[in-house]
Amino acid sequence: MIEAPRFTGPTMGRRGRRWLGVAFTALLGACASLQPGRAIHIATASTSHTLCSSTFVSGQDPDQAYLEEMRPEAGMSLLDWALRYRVDRQRREVHTSVAGLFESHAVFRDGLGCLTVHGDLPSEPVGWAAEQPALQPGRDEFAGLAPVIAQDERIRAAIDAAFEEPGSGPLRHTKAVVVMHRGRIIAERYAPGIKVDTPMLGHSMTKSVLHALIGILVRQGHLSAFDRAPVAPWRSPGDPRAEITIDQLLRMSSGLPWDEYAGGWDDATRMWHRERDMYGFAIQAAVEATPGTRWNYSNRGYMVLSGILRDATGGRSEDVLRFAHRELFGPLGMRHVTLEFDAEGTPLGTSHLYASARDWARFGLLYLRDGVVGDRRILPEGWVSHAVSPTLDTGYGAGFWLNHVRTPNPMSGRWGMPEAPADAFFARGYLGQFIVVVPSQELVVVRLGVTHQRGGDVAGVGQLVGKISAAITTGR
């Protein structure tokens, strides 16, 4: 087992820390049933889940994961000295508490990644025995475990610059960059401890994958994008949610409220870290605007889509996994993928897909090639155009971000990447996860990291793509 080191201030004496600890523990106890208590519970649950997945899915050092991902979080500095986590490698679980209170724990399950436990552990077996994803015969363009070194020194310099740390401010912690041109990897680099087959969390890039999975159901005739969402509780007479369509959920124009804005205080983090049934929680949200008239960043909307995916594929986690591997991951050759689920078997299509950087690039290639792999159509015709058509007056399409809106983005200050080609579009995730697709240059650039800068260093990623684009243009 591993226990977190004790972080204490350098100037406070042992006696002072002791009395501070007594006072703080008393305060925590008083807050246990109040709103601050919920935020602290979310902090411990988030730590347990993050370290569980980092250790048992990605194979990373939990102490490094805590120092890079959790400790810099706003609010964690108040809890850091009292927070303790235990990593039990034999039982494959992580327990976290603050001053001995607010304990949360997460457990790793084969084939399903990690789960923050609320009550009894789900008994649902995973007997699906995932098939090994198969590439098209004779098309293994990605074979080989050694990173591909760029032949163009300008591209090497651009990638190296993406790994350099700024002189001040939050660190970038760039973990991986992969550059694919015309379907072939031409350059990549990884941080120490990260390999070409290391699964890494895409955070909200998972929403882009959910867009693809919903699209496959549309192609197969199981869903229609412009039909009302098949959510039974929304069909009550007079319920304004009855008019919400699948398309509006994908575009975040459903009228559901903005739900990711204040860490442990908002509904998105409550859903991920305090709810056993995340779909059940998501469908309770009330609309605050007429569907189709306002854009709000809505994780609950994508959790509703996750429940729709679950029900359309059979109702169980193993049904979702079999469908996803057979219809998407396998044909694309995504070999190092883990999709996590809640306790009710609903995939966390908002945020919890792990894949290697090369796998994320393969996914980007699908959208570069209009949803086709080899001679097989994966996505319905027009589905990529659907992804990149603007929603209302925003720089968001459906599951993807666009690059031709220069007005301020309320989330990160900008919608697009001015340094990148105008036709670029991208999947985007918390802490600086990006898949940038540039159709005019047949280019896909993946950048993964743990970056606490606002917007996940979107400016730096734009510069990276711009430099690579320029090198490709002049090198033709």
What CATH number does residue 222 fall under? 3.40.710.10
3-state secondary structure of 301: helix
| 8 A C-beta contact, residue 245 and residue 308 | no
Residues 167 and 219 occupy one common structural domain = yes
Q: How confident is the model at residue 367 (pLDDT cuts 50, 70, 90)?
A: very high
Mean pLDDT in residue range 82-101: 96
Phi-psi region of 153 (alpha: psi -120 to 50; beta: other; left: phi over 0): alpha
> Closest Cα partner for 373 from 333, 321, 339?
333
Mean pLDDT in residue range 150-176: 94
pLDDT at 342 over 50: yes
Give the per-residue pLDDT at 140. 52
Task: Report phi then psi at 80, rounded to 5.
Answer: -55, -45
3-state secondary structure of 13: coil
pLDDT at 365 over 90: yes
Residues 192 and 71 occupy one common structural domain = no
Give the per-residue pLDDT at 368. 98
> Closest Cα partner for 121 from 348, 344, 347?
344
Residues 180 and 91 occupy one common structural domain = no
Give the DSSP letter of residue 67. I
pLDDT at 372 over 80: yes
Give the per-residue pLDDT at 307. 98
Residues 25 and 76 occupy one common structural domain = yes
131 occurs within a structural domain = no
189 occurs within a structural domain = yes
Residues 76 and 214 occupy one common structural domain = no
The last residue of one of the domains, among 71, 101, 116, is 116
397 occurs within a structural domain = yes
Write out the two tokens for 185. Answer: 């990897």
| 8 A C-beta contact, residue 273 and residue 194 | no
pLDDT at 20 over 80: no
Report the C-alpha gap between 333 and 325 in whole angstroms. Answer: 10
Residues 73 and 206 occupy one common structural domain = no
Report the C-alpha gap between 60 and 355 in whole angstroms. Answer: 14
Averaged pLDDT score across all residues of the chain: 88
137 occurs within a structural domain = no
**Domain extent for 445:** 153-475
> Closest Cα partner for 341 from 110, 175, 148?
110
138 occurs within a structural domain = no
Distances (CA, A) of 118 to 115, 135, 138: 9, 39, 47
Q: What is the pLDDT of residues 397-438, one digit of tens each?
A: 999 999 976 666 776 667 889 899 999 999 999 999 999 999
Mean pLDDT in residue range 164-178: 92
Residues 36 and 174 occupy one common structural domain = no
65 occurs within a structural domain = yes
3-state secondary structure of 15: helix
- Residue ranges with strand state E in 284-432: 338-339, 353-355, 372-373, 376-377, 401-402, 425-429
3-state secondary structure of 190: strand
